[in-house]
């Protein structure tokens, strides 16, 4: 058995994740974290390139940035208000697609709809 000491921030994060209801207990949460780490390590091995040091350094920076963004996005979705807005947005998208099922909108038409919305039309 291994004993691990967590920082206050780490402990708070674990508690917040348990409160979301996504995980039944700490064991399940830690298991998922290890699965994610293994997956991340495997993808980094796959993405490793042969080339100059600067190319490898740039790749590593981009992977770290992607990882941070993914963590930030996961943290954001735990906000109930954001989840509700995301569900409403998804529903609106489905309704819009259903309206145009006989003739789907082109990218240009979608962009024009967005621009009109921004102009307040």
Asked if the structure places residue 101 within a domain, the reply is yes
Mean pLDDT by 10 residues, the chain (121 residues): 87 90 89 86 63 71 82 65 80 75 76 83 78
Residue-number span of the structural domain to which 33 is assigned: 8-45+67-116
Asked if the structure places residue 17 within a domain, the reply is yes
Work out how many domains the chain is built from and give that number: 1
Asked if the structure places residue 58 within a domain, the reply is no
Asked if the structure places residue 50 within a domain, the reply is no
Asked if the structure places residue 121 within a domain, the reply is no
Asked if the structure places residue 61 within a domain, the reply is no
Asked if the structure places residue 12 within a domain, the reply is yes
Q: What pLDDT is recorded for position 119?
A: 86
Asked if the structure places residue 33 within a domain, the reply is yes
3-state secondary structure the chain: CCCCCCCHHHHHHHHHHHHCCCCCCHHHHHHHHHHHHHHHHHHHHHHCCCCCHHHHHHHHHHHHHHHHHHHHHHHHHCCHHHHHHHHHHHHHHHHHHHHCCCCCCCHHHHHHHHHHHHHCC
């Amino acid at each position: 058995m291994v004993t691990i000491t967590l920082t206050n921030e780490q402990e708070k994060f674990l508690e917040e994740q348990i409160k979301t209801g996504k995980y039944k207990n700490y064991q399940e949460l830690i298991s998922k974290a290890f699965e994610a780490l293994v997956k991340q390590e495997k993808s980094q091995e796959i993405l490793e390139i042969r080339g100059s040091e600067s190319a490898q350094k740039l790749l590593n920076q981009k992977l770290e940035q992607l990882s941070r963004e993914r963590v930030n996005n996961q943290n954001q979705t735990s906000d109930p208000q954001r989840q509700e807005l995301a569900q409403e947005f998804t529903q609106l998208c489905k309704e819009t697609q259903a309206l145009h099922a006989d003739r789907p909108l082109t990218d240009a038409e979608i962009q024009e709809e967005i621009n009109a919305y921004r102009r307040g039309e």
